[in-house]
């Protein structure tokens, strides 16, 4: 009897323990399911959340707008990021109504397109908080300091530009607004703010050369070497040299977020560690607006057997990158634009010689089309009014030819239709140091002319771009006039 009771008691205890343990397991299992459900549950649109939190305007407001302090603070910080206080009500209304009117009147987009990292409005007003639009502006709140607007190109680039850190992901940048940031708006506001004032009406125009340098990550770092050599050729930032305020350098990163050398130089030079570089150089990101029109199913050409020079994917991207560079450059009030590459080093006295060439060719031919002083899509200088036409030709030919061949094609068309020509300098002024190509496959090619060697030896230059030694042995530019006054064609001058 005693044994039977003890067995029943043991069985009850065992069953109770099993129920207890299984109950804990069940609770744990249910908790896990709840956590997974919380993680996997689709998020409701933040835009809907914002619109819900924004109250409808009262009758007393008579459609005058919504008070920004009634917005959900966290959502407002994310989706109204970069908006200036004077424009904030327009964006709040757009979030409630579902439609945003571009501030320049160029069109309208759904509110879900605000800050979606794609540029829809021509003025960039739909992307106040991203770097998608080349012409966009980002408003720094700059508490306890002078508020400023910076170029959108500086948003989320890994460098803290706003003193309150709002241009970078939350928590990445400590606030420095209490410090003296004199001149910060001039450093970071982009090409527009850094440009020198235009000359007054009726005064002689100031010649400004904008040097465009597209750059990509390479297996070897050439960018620092190329820019440092270029800066050595430019006068000190505090000098009275005639070139001092007539040259700007625009460096565009064509691999946003993946170019260590670009970001290292930008941080070092933009923060004032090199006043000369800060004076001359602007760093911008490629917004990626240019799209390759080639069908995705199109086969890639054989780089080693391509008689028609049909561009492959990487070369088509080069075309698009140049289109984006020119899109951004148009905001700068330059009079001449020069194409450079990030693996070419400026030769000694290159800047002074280019200045001399601009002055000389203008004397020879008032309607000159271009000046070449190196090879490839590099060392090519165009007057501003010709650049717009080449920009259109380049955009239309993205899938047809590489950029340097599109340029040659454009030169031939301009010569035939308008009688305008490119002038070729006798010697090469940019040394190609990029022995390691960004392309995986490259055919074996002859060597290139080095610094100050004859440009006629550049095998890639077609007949229309080749220096004519026979006809122009008396001159340093080709085509050349027959000089009636030899001294006139040999004087050295500057961009005065």
The CATH number of whichever domain residue 253 belongs to comes to 3.90.550.10
pLDDT, residue 198, reads 39
**How far is Cα 455 from Cα 220, in angstroms, rounded to an integer?**
26
Per DSSP, the residues of 78-111 read: HHSTT--GGGHHHHHHHHHHSEEE-TTSS-EEEG
DSSP state of 209: E
Q: What angle do CA 142, 148, 149 make, to 5 degrees?
A: 125
pLDDT, residue 187, reads 36
Say yes or no: 112 and 146 in one domain: no
pLDDT, tens digit, for every residue of 132-185? Answer: 776 678 888 765 556 677 777 678 767 777 888 888 888 888 877 765 444 443
Say yes or no: 171 and 224 in one domain: no
pLDDT, tens digit, for every residue of 256-303? Answer: 888 989 999 998 887 777 888 988 999 999 988 888 888 888 888 887
Residue 5 lies in a domain: no
pLDDT, tens digit, for every residue of 387-434? Answer: 999 999 999 999 999 999 999 999 999 999 999 999 999 999 999 998
Say yes or no: 351 and 453 in one domain: yes
Structure tokens at 59: 């009758």
For residue 234, which of 222, 243, 221 has the smallest C-alpha distance? 243
**How far is Cα 260 from Cα 254, in angstroms, rounded to an integer?**
12
Residue 28 lies in a domain: no
pLDDT, residue 315, reads 92
Among candidate residues 73, 92, 123, the one where a domain is terminated? 123
pLDDT, greater one: 287 or 493 = 287
Q: Are 252 and 285 a contacting pair, CB within 8 Å?
A: yes
Residues in Cβ contact with 429 at an 8 Å cutoff, skipping those fewer than 6 apart: 346, 347, 350, 353, 354, 373, 374, 379, 451, 452
Say yes or no: 249 and 341 in one domain: yes
Radius of gyration of the chain (CA): 30
Say yes or no: 334 and 279 in one domain: yes
Say yes or no: 366 and 251 in one domain: yes
pLDDT, residue 347, reads 95
pLDDT, residue 489, reads 47
Say yes or no: 50 and 181 in one domain: no
pLDDT, tens digit, for every residue of 20-72? Answer: 444 444 444 444 334 333 433 333 333 333 344 444 444 333 333 434 444 44
Cα-Cα end-to-end distance for the chain: 120
Residue 351 lies in a domain: yes
pLDDT, residue 451, reads 95
Residue 226 lies in a domain: yes
Residue 87 lies in a domain: yes
Range of the domain at 110: 45-123
Q: Of 84-88, 108-112, 140-144, 285-289, where does mean pLDDT reach its minimum?
A: 140-144
Please state the rounded mean pLDDT for residues 459-470: 86
pLDDT, greater one: 279 or 211 = 211
pLDDT, residue 250, reads 94
Q: Are 243 and 235 a contacting pair, CB within 8 Å?
A: yes
Structure tokens at 27: 């609770």
pLDDT at 8 over 70: no
- How many H-runs (helices) and E-runs (strands) does the chain carry? 13, 14
Say yes or no: 189 and 212 in one domain: no
Structure tokens at 285: 């990101």
Query: In sequence order, which ranges of 271-312 are alpha helices (DSSP H)?
Result: 275-280
Q: Give the other-Cβ count within 10 Å of 277's Cβ.
A: 22
User: Within a 13 Å sphere around the CA of 383, how many CA atoms are in the beta-carbon half?
Assistant: 19
Say yes or no: 270 and 153 in one domain: no
Residue 300 lies in a domain: no
pLDDT, greater one: 113 or 345 = 345
Residue 154 lies in a domain: yes
Most confident of 307-311, 391-395, 469-473: 391-395
Domains held by the chain: number: 3
Per DSSP, the residues of 165-177 read: -TTSSTTSS---T
pLDDT, residue 460, reads 84
Strands, E assignment, 293-440: 336-339, 344-346, 370-372, 380-383, 422-425, 430-432
For residue 323, which of 241, 233, 254 has the smallest C-alpha distance? 254
DSSP state of 370: E
pLDDT at 205 over 60: no
Is the pTM higher than 0.95? The answer reads no
Average pLDDT of every residue of the chain: 75
Q: What angle do CA 194, 196, 199 make, to 5 degrees?
A: 155
pLDDT, greater one: 10 or 326 = 326
Say yes or no: 381 and 266 in one domain: yes
Please state the rounded mean pLDDT for residues 183-209: 43
**How far is Cα 452 from Cα 455, in angstroms, rounded to an integer?**
8
Say yes or no: 260 and 115 in one domain: no
Say yes or no: 184 and 145 in one domain: yes
Q: Are 237 and 275 a contacting pair, CB within 8 Å?
A: yes
Residue 478's alpha-carbon distances to 361, 420, 456, 475, 493, in angstroms, are 10, 13, 10, 7, 18
pLDDT, residue 180, reads 42
pLDDT at 435 over 80: no
Helix (H) or strand (E) holding 247: strand 247-253
pLDDT, residue 240, reads 73
Dihedral angle over CA of 182, 183, 187, 188, nearest 10? 70
Counting every residue, how long is the chain?
A: 496
Residues in Cβ contact with 17 at an 8 Å cutoff, skipping those fewer than 6 apart: none
Residue 303 lies in a domain: no
């Amino acid at each position: 009897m005693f044994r039977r009771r003890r067995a029943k008691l043991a069985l009850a205890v065992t069953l109770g323990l099993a129920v207890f343990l299984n109950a804990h397991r069940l609770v744990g299992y249910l908790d896990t399911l709840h956590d997974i459900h919380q993680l996997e549950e689709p998020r409701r649109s933040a835009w809907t959340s914002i619109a819900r939190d924004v109250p409808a305007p009262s009758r007393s407001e008579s459609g005058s707008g919504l008070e920004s302090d009634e917005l959900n603070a966290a959502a407002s910080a994310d989706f109204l990021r970069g908006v200036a206080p004077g424009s904030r009500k327009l964006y709040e209304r757009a979030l409630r109504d579902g439609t945003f009117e571009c501030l320049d009147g160029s069109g309208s987009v759904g509110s879900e397109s605000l800050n979606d990292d794609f540029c829809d409005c021509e003025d960039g007003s739909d992307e106040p908080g991203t770097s998608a639009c080349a012409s966009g502006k980002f408003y720094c709140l700059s508490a306890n300091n002078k508020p400023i607007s910076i170029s959108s190109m500086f948003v989320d680039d890994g460098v803290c530009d706003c003193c309150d850190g709002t241009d970078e992901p939350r928590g990445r940048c400590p606030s420095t607004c209490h410090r003296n940031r004199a001149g910060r708006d001039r450093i970071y506001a982009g090409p527009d703010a850094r440009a020198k004032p235009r000359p007054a009406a009726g005064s002689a125009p100031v010649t400004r050369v904008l040097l465009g340098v597209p750059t990509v990550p390479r297996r070897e770092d050439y960018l620092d070497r190329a820019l440092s050599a270029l800066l050595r050729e430019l006068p000190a930032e505090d000098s009275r040299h005639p070139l001092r305020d007539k040259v700007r350098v625009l460096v565009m990163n064509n691999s946003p977020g993946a170019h260590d050398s670009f970001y290292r130089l930008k941080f070092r030079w933009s923060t004032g560690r090199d006043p000369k570089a800060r004076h001359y150089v602007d760093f911008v990101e490629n917004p990626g607006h240019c799209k390759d029109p080639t069908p995705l199913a199109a086969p890639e050409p054989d780089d080693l057997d391509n008689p028609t020079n049909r561009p492959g994917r990487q070369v088509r991207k080069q075309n698009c990158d140049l289109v984006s560079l020119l899109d951004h450059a148009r905001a700068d009030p330059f009079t001449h634009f020069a194409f450079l590459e990030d693996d070419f080093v400026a030769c000694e006295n290159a800047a002074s010689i280019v200045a001399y060439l601009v002055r000389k060719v203008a004397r020879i031919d008032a309607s000159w089309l271009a000046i070449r002083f190196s090879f490839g899509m590099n060392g090519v200088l165009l007057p501003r009014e010709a650049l717009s036409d080449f920009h259109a030709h380049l955009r239309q030919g993205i899938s047809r030819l590489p950029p340097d061949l599109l340029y040659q094609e454009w030169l031939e068309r301009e010569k035939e239709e308008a009688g305008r020509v490119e002038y070729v300098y006798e010697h090469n002024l940019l040394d190609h140091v990029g022995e390691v190509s960004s392309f995986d496959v490259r055919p074996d090619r002859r060597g290139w002319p080095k610094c100050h060697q004859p440009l006629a030896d550049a095998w890639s230059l077609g007949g229309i771009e080749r220096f004519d030694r026979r006809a122009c042995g008396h001159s340093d530019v080709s085509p050349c006039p027959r000089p009636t006054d030899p001294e006139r064609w040999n004087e050295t001058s500057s961009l005065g």
